[in-house]
A and B are shown apart, each in its own frame.
Chain A
Amino acid sequence: MVIAKLLDHLGKYLILMGNAFSKPEKTSMYYREVIRQMHDIGVGSLIIVFIISLFIGAVTAIQFAYQLDGTLVPDYYIGYVVRDMTIIELAPTITCLVLAGKVGSNMASEIGGMRQKEHIDAMEIMGVNTAAYLIMPKVLAAVIIIPILVAIAAFVSIGGGFIASVPTGLLSGQEFVMGLRSFFMPYNVFMMFVKSLVFAFLLTSISCYQGYNVKGGSIELGKASTNAVVISDIMILLADYLIAVVLI
């Protein structure tokens, strides 16, 4: 029964995505909407991404310094670990998990509210492909802007590691920079961008699907918003594992 329900949702999700990525009625209208969404997702999420990344970098540095205490591992490894932890895992995954909560629930509520107020029906009757007009710009905007947010998160997180470890005397600035420059593999950056692209697609498309299929009243809208976050988070973690298996 559960599997049948899951397959039913998967089928509906794939059909919706098929409709969402069909030819736009008017490219200029979609372009404007993509730009608006990029602004909403990008600028709107900058502060939260900045704060979270700063603390994640700081915590990573302090935790690793604690692990190193009394060992023969050189201190500059703190910079190295902060960099790699951030690039490979923390920046893309934590940023996208947070964005699933902020952006994903927002999208589900926005589209779900339009469904309830008959805005989607009104557009359908005008002849608008609502799946395309409401979903495609959001997903496109997210896959463009979220990797940029993730890159910013990575820089801020490394900065957080520096602030938490150098001024507090855990290691010198020179050692931290030396750690940052040691054993650097550009492939890890590629992996970070692959992850952020996949996560961006997942969190927006799942949230839009939840909002687009809302039936009922405000309680159902709340449930759809919650489902958008929970399912997006689970799928992001699952995709994280699969990408790690495939790319490493």
Chain B
Amino acid sequence: MIKISGIYKSFGNTPVLKNISAEFQPGKTNLIIGKSGAGKTVLLKLLVGLIAPNEGQIFYNKVDFLQLKKKDLRTLRMKVGMLFQGSALFDSLTVEENIRFPLDMFTDLTKKEKSDRVNTCLNRVSLDGINAKFPSELSGGMQKRVGIARAIVLNPSYLFCDEPNSGLDPKTSLVIDELIKDITIENNMTTIINTHDMNSVMEVGDNVILLHEGEICWQGNKDEIMSSDNEILHDFIFASPFLQRLRNAAVSNGFHI
């Protein structure tokens, strides 16, 4: 479980996050949603320790993340996997070498054991047999799946995904969403996804946090979204004209949305 309380972050005189408190449960896909500039990426970077907050606390299973010494922080980070928006695969390494990198760096497994582990992860993301390919030879969706394979290769307890669907078609996005959800349940991971993709929210949103101007303005699950009367949430969900027309048509036919 990850718990944050009273997080405040500003860049210069511009506050980006104001008094953010939340809990992210294991085995659930926790989504942080909001418009561009709402502070989603900053919050995710704070959670993984790439930047530090001005105020507030972050707990990983009751361990105060911000008070950890460098060595302990590195040990904790070995339990963290992250899927980056641009996948962040190392260009000069093959798919196998990319996924094997954390194993090479942190484990004493034999070559065969590492190879087996890599193949298991590739199989889990349905990409068997692409071990020798380079990231540049893969499509965006495949790169994302390799990114997920690399993120889970050390069996992490925490998985962070920064815009996992950006640049992908709706069908591939769905595959990625389902993959992340399944892996989260299988490994009982605490998964936090930063997205503005409404399909993802409605598919995998066990716990959804809406950020607006640096503050949490709504929290609930995917089933509670439609019944909520939060104006900002509705503005965000029905931002697309197509969805607005769909909503108006549904309302005029007697449905409550």
Give B95-109 interface residues, CB cut-off 8 Å to A.
Answer: 101-102, 104-106
Q: Is A126 an interface residue (CB 8 A)?
A: yes
Q: Is A127 an interface residue (CB 8 A)?
A: yes
Residue of B nearest to A126 (CB): B102
Give the CA-CA distance A125 to B106 in the complex, in Å: 13
Instruction: Tell me how many residue pairs across A and B have CB atoms closer than 8 Å.
Output: 53
Please give, as numbers and ranges, the residues of chain B lying within 8 Å of A122 by CB-CB distance: 82, 84, 88
A29 and B105 in contact, given A121-B50, A127-B74 (Cβ under 8 angstroms): yes
Total interface residues in chain A, CB < 8 Å: 14
Give the CA-CA distance A127 to B78 in the complex, in Å: 5
Please give, as numbers and ranges, the residues of chain B lying within 8 Å of A29 by CB-CB distance: 104-105
Distance in angstroms from A127 CB to nearest chain B CB is 4
Give the CA-CA distance A128 to B106 in the complex, in Å: 9
Instruction: Jot down 16 A-B pairs with beta carbons below 8 A, ordered by A.
Output: A25-B74, A25-B106, A117-B86, A117-B88, A119-B90, A121-B50, A122-B88, A124-B49, A125-B82, A126-B77, A126-B101, A127-B75, A127-B76, A127-B77, A127-B105, A128-B74
Contact call B74/A121, Cβ cutoff below 8 A: no
Q: Is A118 an interface residue (CB 8 A)?
A: yes
A: residues with CB less than 8 A from B are: 25-26, 29, 117-119, 121-122, 124-129
**Residue interface mask B61-86, A partner, CB < 8 A = 1:** 00000000000001111101110111
Give the CA-CA distance A128 to B75 in the complex, in Å: 10
Residue of B nearest to A113 (CB): B91
Contact call B104/A129, Cβ cutoff below 8 A: no
Distance in angstroms from B118 CB to nearest chain A CB is 15
Please give, as numbers and ranges, the residues of chain B lying within 8 Å of A26 by CB-CB distance: 104-106
Distance in angstroms from A237 CB to nearest chain B CB is 34
- 7 additional A-B pairs beyond A29-B104, A117-B86, A126-B80, beta carbons within 8 Å, are A29-B105, A125-B48, A125-B80, A125-B82, A126-B102, A126-B105, A128-B105
Please give, as numbers and ranges, the residues of chain B lying within 8 Å of A128 by CB-CB distance: 74, 105
Residue of B nearest to A28 (CB): B104
Please give, as numbers and ranges, the residues of chain A lying within 8 Å of B82 by CB-CB distance: 122, 125
Please give, as numbers and ranges, the residues of chain B lying within 8 Å of A25 by CB-CB distance: 74, 105-106
Give the CA-CA distance A248 to B101 in the complex, in Å: 48
Please give, as numbers and ranges, the residues of chain A lying within 8 Å of B50 by CB-CB distance: 121, 124-125
